Each structure stands twice: as structure tokens, then as C-alpha cells.
Amino acid sequence: MIDYPAGRENIVLRRLETLENLDIELGDFIAKGYRGTVFSGFIKPYDQFTIPVKVAIKFARSDAGKKHFLLKEARILEYLEPKSIAPVVYYYDEEVIIMEYIEGVPFSFGSFHSKNELLNILKEIMEKCYILDKSGVNHSELKGEKHIIVSDRGIRFIDFESARFTGNPRNLLQFLGFHILRKPERLNFLGISSNDLRLGIELYKENPSEGFRKILSLF
């Protein structure tokens, strides 16, 4: 999976050499995406008193079809680093990204113990989506739950391989549309009128700051 699906020995050895030069130990296979495969790993401790740092290692797939896509993803992550909403990047080149491993669980609407707990998480997700929008970065895959991680450091977004800089990001609208607006049972549970939410969304399109305040007030 280090050079999936081709499995070219020279590429595998070169990538392992890169990790060795960075004092990074390859861990377990985690996931396979459209353009990359992801492993866990550890930055080796310098001495017996240093704790190994867990990292995520993303290798480019041999059949990705696009060149330099890992460079684009890494640069977006670097740009977002001050916002504390995405993994921190430690190293990258055209074949691999070494980044912070986000410990936590994927967001799931039905996994919270109380309505108040769910509302607090939803508000934080919306706030982070708004930060992404203001940053001019469109994640494009926040309709899925696996890219939204509930961690000890708050909500974090992962897997930016389809992300791009744009003048019209729609992270908040995508999240609301797929996770709430299209789910009548969720609107009922939250006690939110679909008409009120639609009005907030329309206002957000015209005036993001006013629209965001309106949307947040509904939760």
C-alpha cells in the first residue's frame, strides 16, 4: 500500500528511505483514498526521555492521475495551521505528506448523550466551517462524517486532498445542507424550522457575517 496499486519496488524503497532519513517509523495502514493511502507512524524519540510523536503518513497513489496534488494539499494545510482546524504538516514532497495524527472520533449525529452536548458540537463545527469559509478554502467533502473529527482539542477537519482555494467556499452551506437541512427528523429533534434555516442560509450567501449570526442563533 506504500505505492498502491502499482507496488513498484524502487518507489517503495525510496519512500521508506525518506521516512528513515526523517527518523520516522512506519506504523499501521489506516485508509485508502482516491489519490492516496494513509498510514500511522511515529517520529522516533531522540533519547530515552523523549516521547515518540504519532503522525499520519500519506503516500500518493500511483494511479492518482494528477501531479503535484500532495503539494497542493500540504500548502493548504500550512496556510490553515494558525487556525487550529486542520492537521499540522511536518514534512512534504510530491510523494508523501507527514502530518499531525488527529486523535478522536468521527462526528456522528446520534452518538451524543444529550441534546445540549450535540448542540455544542454542532455550533463548534459550524464555527470551524465559517473559519474555513473566511479563509477562502473549500474542503468539498464535509458532507461526510469521517472528515470531521471530535478531538480533545476540539473539532478538527482532516483529508484535504480535494480542497482548493476559492473566492466562494461553501463549507458551512455543505455541512448544513447534508447533515441537517435534508434531514427532517434532525430538524425536529433540534427544534429548528426548516424555513428559518433556509432564510439564514440565504442571508449567509449575501452577507456571511450576518447570516452566520442568524444561523447560529437557531441552535
- Does residue 67 carry a pLDDT above 90? no
Give mean pLDDT, residues 95-121: 94
Q: Are 163 and 137 in contact (CB under 8 A)?
A: yes
- Does residue 39 carry a pLDDT above 90? yes
User: In this predicted structure, what is the pLDDT of residue 171?
Assistant: 98
Give mean pLDDT, residues 28-43: 95
- Does residue 156 carry a pLDDT above 90? yes
Of 157 and 65, the one with more pLDDT: 157
Class of the 9-100 domain?
A: alpha beta
- Does residue 2 carry a pLDDT above 90? yes
When the pLDDT of each residue in the chain is averaged and rounded to a whole number, the result is: 95
Going by pLDDT thresholds of 50, 70 and 90, the confidence category of residue 50 is confident
- CATH 1.10.510 occupies which residues in the chain? 105-217
- Does residue 48 carry a pLDDT above 90? no
Look up the pTM and report it.
0.93
User: In this predicted structure, what is the pLDDT of residue 138?
Assistant: 98
Task: Specify the CATH architecture of the domain 105-217.
Answer: Orthogonal Bundle (1.10)
- Does residue 46 carry a pLDDT above 90? no
- CATH 3.30.200.20 occupies which residues in the chain? 9-100
